[in-house]
Structure 1
């Protein structure tokens, strides 16, 4: 059954403000279109929580009266229709007729819609991220510069670490082979997945990887929340023994006290952030010294606006800032290195969606080059839409 809002509820959707600044007419939002792409993976991939054969990219395109199109994206395992429905039914009515230049005002207005009460995290928040990314894309286009330059970043290449060779679905021999290939192609930092049913298998895995790649390669591990405190404490000494750079999401993402206890007893840095959806959540983890590596994801936080807030918080605490790449680095290649931190910027690289975008990421010898085209590098090619668009997901809303 098609969902319809009752007539007396329409006023709750906070229609777009009509008091535009003179001369701003060209920046008025005239249409909001959503859709999703299911991009097939080269091989079935799995971590401790999910097995994937494709990566889904929900998309929003916000068109303004002057003909510009800002594109916002997300990255999900499933249910892209939920993100698109939030935008179509709740955010689009509040965007049409509004100025696309009022990024912070729009963020606040959408955040405090009635959807706030069912979505301070998760689907509603991720949908807001898509809108916010699209507005920043438009802002950089209007300025005629790539987003990183608009935000004050340097032109220096950004070092990346590669996650695509260490999946839990691979045998130890396959992981060793794939990581060796990444090292041969220039990566000096790689990440492996752990979180097996038996922690001893994880211990054997990390030891085998360290022996194979040698001491000069930086290795990180990601448990994807699959350990309990007791298991994590058993394996922490092994991670320290092999010189693991960090352990990511060792326990449930909402277990602040658990992260805090593990960071206090171990010498390996705790990393977290891909499952934290607000700057308030990050602030709590930082204040509790529950992590040393802060991993904000622009697609899980509510866009560039909130990502910058978290990045500044991390910098103020002297913590390492390493984004989680639900966007496959497409937006984060602009965001890394735009905040003053004591440690050099670092990016996660997974090459699953490169063929989707008009402006692909360029990585050489493990370093990402800064994009040069104006915008946020989020524009989707017509060919990608033709090949991978998910039927029945999304709609086009007009002023």
Structure 2
């Protein structure tokens, strides 16, 4: 099998209503992606996720620097291709961020090709671990721009739908307001529901230490991304001092950075995202590293769960997956949660094929 053509795309899918967290405001979710064609008629689709900003730089990287290196190559040599792109022409100017996210899209498309060629869903092609579905928690009711009334209505409905875990955003200018929202949510969902909070990097160490301690009374399952993601030592201080486990990974881009977090004792739940590390190839390496230290995985869904459902279903240390439904309607086999569990995909590939109608409707490049 040989790669014959590489086509990039950018989709902007509306988010209704628009949402905010402590550092982002989003009205659309961006898919910067690539369709890789082969001489056997199999087409692999891969993409990364954005807040609909910077997509042009990601696909420019694919078009100008990665695509020429792929033409004529065997997609089954995915790890060799990963190395050649990672340590190729773009290595000098970027070892994370834009170039890494571009590589993620390419790598995902290659794995999609291989699973399709094997006529297996990716989670089986990788070696299945969970045959009865994946426990899901829901983030889509806890946005920072929600009023308290809207927040409580949404998290209550999420629990009634069968989800056993909810996550809300914190990071208000006044942490007292965060405290009151967390208190209200815990009272609304009861003591048996897993409850996580996400700071989105908004606090410094002192704020996190003070309010992390105060919020312990609400039996939080984890405290997510409390600090700048480059501050490994700050996260270590929190991990040592707080009784709430620290979750990090959404903005950690490389296996080496995860290694340093793990060795420092600064991470207690690993949220490695396949669209931030350079695709499935590097995701699997991080998963192996976490497994060696018995650190549980629960990925951040920058691709909204389509690919991660396969990775979690094939990874022993991955125990749960985030659910955000913003873009699921555009896929031929959308990520689906029933009674609190992801229903495992059945079609060959990585569940990345997009319905043509929506591809054309949301395409901006």
Please indicate the TM-score interval, normalised by the length of the shorter structure: over 0.9
Aligned to 1:128: 103
Q: Distance in 2 between matches of 1:146 and 1:325?
A: 19
Corresponding residue number in structure 1 for 2:200: 224
Aligned to 1:373: 347
Distance in 2 separating the partners of 1:231 and 1:146 = 45
Shift of 1:112: 0.7
Number of the residue aligned with 2:77? 102
Give the equivalent residue in structure 1 for 2:302.
326
* Partner residue, 2:253: 277
* 1:32-51 superposed Cα distances (whole Å, 9 cap, x missing partner): 00011110111010000111
* 1:165 maps to which of 125, 141, 152: 141
Q: Which moved more, 1:99-108 or 1:232-241?
A: 232-241
Matched, 1:249 2:229: no
1:165 and 1:389 map into 2 onto residues whose CA distance is: 27
Secondary structure (helix, strand or coil) at the match of 2:275 reads coil
Q: Deviations over 1:18-66 (max 9, x none)?
A: xxxxxxxxx1110000011110111010000111111111120000011
SS at match of 2:180: helix
- Alpha-carbon deviation of 1:207? 0.8
What is the aligned partner in structure 1 of residue 182 from structure 2?
A: 206
Consecutive unaligned residues in structure 2, runs of 5 or more: none
Residue 119 of structure 1 deviates from its aligned partner by 1.4
Aligned-residue Cα RMSD (Å) equals 0.9
Alpha-carbon offset, residue 188 of structure 1? 1.0
CA contact (8 A) 2:6 2:37 kept: yes
Give distance in 1, aligned partners of 2:259 and 2:340.
Answer: 31
Partner of 1:39: 13
Q: 2:65, 2:89 within 8 Å by CA — same for their partners in 1?
A: no
* Mapping 1:30-109, distance limit 5 Å: 30-77=4-51, 78-109=53-84
Preserved CA contact (<8 Å) 1:46 1:167: yes
Q: Does residue 1:138 correspond to 2:103, yes or no?
A: no
Greater CA radius of gyration, 1 or 2?
1
Aligned residues of 1:129 and 1:303 also touching (Cα < 8 A): yes
- Counterpart of 1:182 (choices 153, 158, 162) is 158
Tell me, in whole angstroms, the C-alpha distance in 1 between the residues paired with 2:335 and 2:313.
16
SS at match of 1:117: coil
2: CA distance, partners of 1:118 / 1:324:
26
CA distance in 2, matches of 1:283, 1:328: 25
Q: Does residue 311 in structure 1 map to residue 311 in structure 2? A: no
State the distance in 2 between where 1:122 and 1:162 align: 26
Verify the 8 A CA contact 1:315 1:339 in the aligned structure 2: no
TM-score, normalised by the number of residues in structure 2: 0.98
Total equivalences in the alignment: 363
1:265 is matched with 241
Aligned to 2:278: 302
Match of 1:118? 93
For residue 132 of structure 2, what is the aligned residue in structure 1? Answer: 156
Contact 2:14/2:29 (<8 A) preserved: yes
Q: Distance in 1 between matches of 2:277 and 2:191?
A: 35
The structure 1 residue matched to 2:267, chosen from 291, 310, 313, is 291
TM-score (norm 1): 0.90
Query: Where does residue 239 of structure 1 map in the other structure?
Result: 215
Distance 1:179 1:340 in 2: 29
Q: 2-side partners of 1:56 and 1:340: how far apart?
A: 30
Partner residue of 1:355? 329
Q: Cα distance, 1:171 vs. partner?
A: 1.4
For residues 245-292 of structure 1, what are the alpha-carbon distances to aligned partners after superposition, in whole Å with 9 as ceiling and x for unaligned? Answer: 100000101000100000000000000001000000000000000010
Distance in 1, matches of 2:297 and 2:359, equals: 33
